[in-house]
Structure 1
Amino acid sequence: MRGADCASDHELVRAKIKISLKANYKSNKKHRKFNTNKLRDSSITNKYQQTLERHVGNLEQVGKSSIEGIWEIYKNAYMKAGKEILGCKEKADRPWITLDTKTKIKERRAIKTELIKTRNPIKRKEI
């Protein structure tokens, strides 16, 4: 069966297979990175520090908590301040395949179809 173009002289084989797959559970949490490049600006750095201090609150109260409690307070403070002041980094989408690669694929397909049509071995070597 012809159809796949994967830089090979092999032909495809078609089959029906029944497979039961294990369920893959993914967490719904999306971990976004903060735009830390904004911290290079001194005014934004000052705003971030003030927001962080406001979210942490009274340090005496933090000292009486357990280690897990302290961790949660600081983690939440950094996350809230980061979301408010810095924002999240935008994901830069790059094209999966370039135009040059697409043209090379088209050229290769054209050559392959010519080879399939040609029965003469001398002409095949020329192609």
Structure 2
Amino acid sequence: MNESAPPEFDLKEKVLAVLTFHHYTYRQLAEYIGTTEKELDSQFKNNSLEIRTLELISKALRIPLYSFFRKEADEVTADEELYYNVDIWGKDGIRIRTKLKRDAKGNISDKELKKLKQAIKENEKLIRKNTNKIKNK
């Protein structure tokens, strides 16, 4: 039998890169998905990750589940759900996908920047409010 081997890539390496990108630790990921670092290491090493574990990793890192199985050259459409906004196959490494509107030269419009600044202000206000609630408990 002449079977072609699947393309090799190190899934754990990709996951570690995304963890670093988000300033998370491997231990935090293991705790989040309800396992130990040792068990997770074993699953990566033996290629025995269960789909539910991959799904939890995908949600924690905001990576579409299918991206673990797609080829590097596959294109990603801009219409994908924004929740899964981390592209682990970017040409320049890991990057966050956005749906920012750009002009013909690729620049973000002033209108779009104004909306982003407003969203940042609202998020900062919400953070301050929640921080104060936590401090007052």
The structure with more radius of gyration: 1
Tell me the TM-score normalised to structure 1 length: 0.24
More helix by share: 1
